[in-house]
Amino acid sequence: KAGVTQTPRYLIKTRGQQVTLSCSPISGHRSVSWYQQTPGQGLQFLFEYFSETQRNKGNFPGRFSGRQFSNSRSEMNVSTLELGDSALYLCASSLGGTGIPEAFFGQGTRLTVV
Amino acid sequence: GENVEQHPSTLSVQEGDSAVIKCTYSDSASNYFPWYKQELGKRPQLIIDIRSNVGEKKDQRIAVTLNKTAKHFSLHITETQPEDSAVYFCAASLSTGTASKLTFGTGTRLQVTL
């Protein structure tokens, strides 16, 4: 069974640009969550999608957005990039059903903003 | 919202000794508490979890305990080995089946020395 796949693995972008990251969950998983990991702030929750609907959101500015497709794959978009957006972006997939909360992470996309 | 505190931030033990990492959470409604291990440059991996209707759970050398009254939970690793060296994160979640998000502790860097 394939794990959670994130693409690309590495990205270098310039301030002001926008970026789109992709996450393919484990087959059968319908929930995808996104997290930002930085040395200073640790792992912080961005948002969660389930059945193409955002059902939970963290405390990030509106420049951070996401969506989920009918096949459960999810994308995250960051517009008007700032230097502080440099981080490892991780997605986690889970079944999303009642009583089954286990979440499994992808290998992450390391974004560097210059 | 939920807040999770984790201690210690670094922990050095000799091979064969035990290691204990402690976390406290603020939201008494949280009902799911996973632990993740993250090796350098790799994704966080779920190593064990516990739900609020259970006080203790064990998996080989790893155990987790939960005290709902005091709102704290701990990870215990016995007979530590060099491959246990990694950063460990605790997390808390209110998993209702309709929405869930993980709030992480700040991590504990465990070093197992020979």
Q: Distances from the Cα of B11 to the Cαs of A63, B18, B42, B57, B65, in angstroms?
A: 37, 11, 20, 22, 19
Percentage of the residues of chain B whose pLDDT score is greater than 70:
96
pLDDT, tens only, B20-34: 999 999 999 999 999
pLDDT of residue B12: 98
B1 to chain A, closest Cα gap in Å: 10
Chain A interface mutation, best of B3, B6, B27, B43, highest count of A Cβ atoms under 10 Å: B43
- A10-13 and A109-113 strand pairing: parallel
Is residue B108 within 8 A of residue B8, CB to CB? The reply is yes
pLDDT, tens only, A31-76: 999 999 998 888 999 999 999 999 889 999 999 999 999 999 999 9
Within 10 angstroms of residue A69's Cβ, the number of other Cβ atoms is 12
pLDDT, tens only, A90-105: 999 998 776 668 899 9
Q: Is the pLDDT of residue A1 over 80?
A: no
Flag if B46 and A55 touch (Cβ within 8 Å).
no
pLDDT of residue B99: 58
pLDDT of residue A109: 98
Give, for all 114 residues of chain B, the pLDDT tens digit.
889 999 999 999 999 999 999 999 999 999 999 999 999 999 999 999 998 888 999 999 999 999 999 999 999 999 999 999 999 999 998 876 555 789 999 999 999 999
Note whether B10 contacts A: Cβ–Cβ < 8 A: no
Flag if A101 and B93 touch (Cβ within 8 Å).
yes
pLDDT of residue A98: 67
Flag if A56 and B32 touch (Cβ within 8 Å).
no
